[in-house]
Amino acid sequence: MNIWNPWHGCSKISPGCKNCYVYRRDAMYGKDSSVVSKTKNFNFPLAKARNGDYKLQSCDGKVYTCMTSDFFLPEADCWRREAWSMIRERPDLEFVIITKRIERFYEELPLDWGQGYKNVTIICTCENQEMADKRLKIFLELPIINREIIEEPMLEKINIEKYLATGKISCVTCGGESGDNPRPCDYGWILDTREQCVRQNVSFHFKQTGGKFIKDGKVYLIDRKYQQTQAERAGIDFTPVKFSESEFQELFERLKKSEFRSSFKLKQRDREYIESKGIEKIESHCRDFIRERLAPKDISNDGKQTPMKGHPVFIAQHATATCCRGCLYKWHRIAPGRELTACEQDYVVSVIMEWIRSQIEQ
């Protein structure tokens, strides 16, 4: 992992800072962490080896920036423009900035920032509900291309689902607290955040358990060296389902080859209905049908919930094998027995609307 610390030192601003690892580590060397200073690695992204190549190569992966401070710290306002300038000069690197001071984002932001630099990921830290509500509202309004959230040290159950539902967050990472006297982290809180991510089709990563981990009401004291591996062993990371253009095309090719699926066509009355309502209204009906009849985890009449006539969307559902959870699994590999995520519902609606549009054009 590449780390670039252009400055060192920080000040505590919220409950998550209580046992800050920078303070803990500096204390071991008698160093005062509240003193903020530029480091000798300030120019690291532009540093060159003897052969003239950059020391940091694009194949080196992500560059975690400001890990012993906060990039948006007021004391660093005088250096931030220069740091942004180096980031702009290295579009081949991906800079990851984790902050508890997202409200200071605009301080010394470069004039050419626009909607954001593509090579920058900003991660907003939220250790409890109060900080999540305070910071995420601001975070979502900022011009940032790559946005993630980290709940670490996670101090309580945190509901961020309404923020995830905006579709602007690509990943959420959770973890407990390390150090000598860590505050507890409950596995139930981790699972709850994971469920929110699954429902909203956002990536989820369980990074580490922390030193005091509660599972099923039992407290486990976990040594630092096992905290990450224990989290990995839980096996609860989640990667959203993404449907590529080629998979989409391949699906329609398969549907065409099915005698049963390809027997469904829009009738004249269906076309007239679409004409009278407009395609946007039909899509809106489609969303409602999918949410109410196909998306729930438990469907008592699964296999019979989609009539054979009465609405163009019903015909399209049979034609595209999105009529019940059994067909959805067989043809689209979307498992039954759980609620469809927002992204999966979007996918089903896209498939249905694509079929309806192709029928209208015929």
Binding site for ligand SF4 (CB under 6 A): 10, 12-13, 16-17, 20, 22, 69-70, 100
Please name which of 357, 291, 359 lies closest in space to residue 322, comparing C-alpha atoms.
291
Structural contact between residues 117 and 87, judged by C-beta atoms closer than 8 angstroms: yes
Using the minimum distance from each CB to ligand SF4, give the nearer residue, 13 or 46. 13
Q: How far is the CB of 22 from ligand SF4 (least distance, A)?
A: 5
CB nearer ligand SF4, residue 154 or residue 327? 154
What is the smallest separation between the CB atom of 349 and ligand SF4, expressed in angstroms? 42
We find the least distance from the C-beta atom of residue 47 to ligand SF4, in angstroms, to be 24
**Nearest to ligand SF4 of 9, 312 (CB atom):** 9
CA proximity to 208, closest of 180, 237, 181: 237
To the nearest whole angstrom, how small is the minimum distance from the Cβ of residue 157 to ligand SF4? 21
Contact of 9 with 38, CB cutoff 8 Å: no
- Strand order through the sheet with 218-221: 185-186, 212-215, 218-221
Round to whole Å and give the CA distance between 169 and 137: 12
Least separation in angstroms between residue 27's CB and ligand SF4 is 12
Closest CB to ligand SF4 among residues 124, 197: 124
Output 13 or 27, the one with its CB closest to ligand SF4: 13
Nearest to ligand SF4 of 12, 90 (CB atom): 12
| Cβ-based nearer residue to ligand SF4, 132 or 349 | 132
Closest CA to 103 of 64, 126, 137: 137
Using the minimum distance from each CB to ligand SF4, give the nearer residue, 19 or 350. Answer: 19
- For residue 99, the minimal CB distance to ligand SF4 (Å) is 8
Q: How far is the CB of 113 from ligand SF4 (least distance, A)?
A: 22
Which residues, other chains included, contact 70 with Cβ-Cβ below 8 Å and sequence gap of 6+? 10, 76, 99, 100, 101
* Token pair recorded at residue 208: 């580490």
Residue from 116, 347, 149 nearest 241 by CA: 347
Q: Which is nearer to ligand SF4, 127 or 302 (CB)?
A: 127
Distance of closest approach, residue 35 Cβ to ligand SF4, in angstroms: 13
Residue 10 beta carbon to ligand SF4: minimum distance, rounded to whole angstroms: 3
